[in-house]
């Protein structure tokens, strides 16, 4: 559930982990996994715009501390803590902790993926691409790794590769992933596949693809405007802007 993302899935994951902790309160891995849930909640609420995440970050810190206290050998809570530091914009601390985490667990796809996000935030896209490539090798069925690989390739100007990676992200997630469709639309346009790009952009409005709508509208609107469909793009933009929090 956690790996599928989305608020409902985070709730499901938390419920199962709390059941595990009710059976064994000192189960360190359950505390570490609970930290991951709070971490992704904070991430997705920030991406949604206008959300206060201090509670999520406080819960993250409490869960990582408890997990490390119960089992100091666990790397998982350190990785979650590093990501949390990145969300708090404590960039140097985050980078140092990610380096330590990957020294201890160099083949963990989630940790590699998180460090790749850190590298992208720092503007080091070649380093991010290397971590994404390793992460895909270790977990080829992670839709979110494929999706962000596509985002990275897009920035690097590798448009065909970006489109293929985003398409794979949409394919491997149960129910699809609208952001991957939008990323594929932009990459396809920049690769010269104009008709396909417009069709992909329009498909991001399908009801069945609205499980995680953030950011996708900006990509789709851009493609529609590039194609000269200004009125359609404006309607799309206005409709989606109306769904955002007022203070976003």
pLDDT tens for 152-197 read 999 999 999 999 999 999 999 888 899 999 999 999 999 999 999 9
Helices marked H in 105-158:
109-121, 125-138, 143-155
| Packing angle of the helix pair 28-48, 76-87 (nearest 10 deg) | 20
This prediction has a pTM of 0.89
How many Å apart are CA 225 and CA 204, to the nearest integer?
A: 15
The predicted pLDDT at position 117 comes to 96
User: CA 57, CA 46: separation in Å to the nearest integer?
Assistant: 11
3-state secondary structure of 108: coil
Tell me the backbone φ, ψ of residue 149, rounded to 5 degrees: -60, -45
| pLDDT digits 0-9 by tens, 107-140 | 999 999 999 999 999 999 999 999 999 999 999 9
């Amino acid at each position: 559930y956690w790996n599928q993302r989305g608020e409902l899935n985070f709730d499901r994951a938390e419920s199962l982990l709390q059941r595990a902790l009710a059976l064994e309160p000192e189960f360190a891995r359950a505390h570490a996994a609970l930290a991951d849930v709070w971490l992704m909640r904070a991430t997705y609420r920030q991406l949604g715009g206008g959300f206060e995440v201090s509670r999520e970050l406080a819960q993250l810190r409490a869960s990582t501390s408890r997990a490390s206290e119960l089992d100091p050998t666990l790397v998982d809570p350190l990785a979650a803590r590093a990501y949390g530091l990145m969300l708090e914009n404590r960039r140097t601390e985050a980078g140092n902790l990610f380096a330590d985490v990957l020294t201890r667990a160099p083949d963990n796809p989630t940790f590699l993926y998180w460090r790749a996000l850190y590298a992208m935030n720092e503007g080091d896209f070649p380093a991010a691409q290397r971590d994404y490539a390793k992460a895909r090798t270790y977990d080829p069925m992670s839709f979110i790794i494929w999706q962000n690989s596509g985002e990275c390739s897009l920035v690097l100007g590798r448009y065909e590769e970006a489109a293929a990676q985003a398409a794979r992200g949409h394919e491997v997630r149960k129910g699809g992933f609208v952001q991957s469709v939008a990323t594929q639309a932009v990459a396809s346009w920049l690769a010269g596949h104009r008709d396909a790009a417009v069709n992909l952009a329009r498909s991001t409005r399908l009801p069945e693809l609205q499980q995680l709508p953030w950011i996708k509208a900006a990509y789709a609107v851009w493609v529609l405007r590039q194609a000269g469909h200004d009125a359609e793009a404006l309607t799309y933009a206005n409709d989606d802007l109306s769904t955002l929090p007022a203070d976003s």
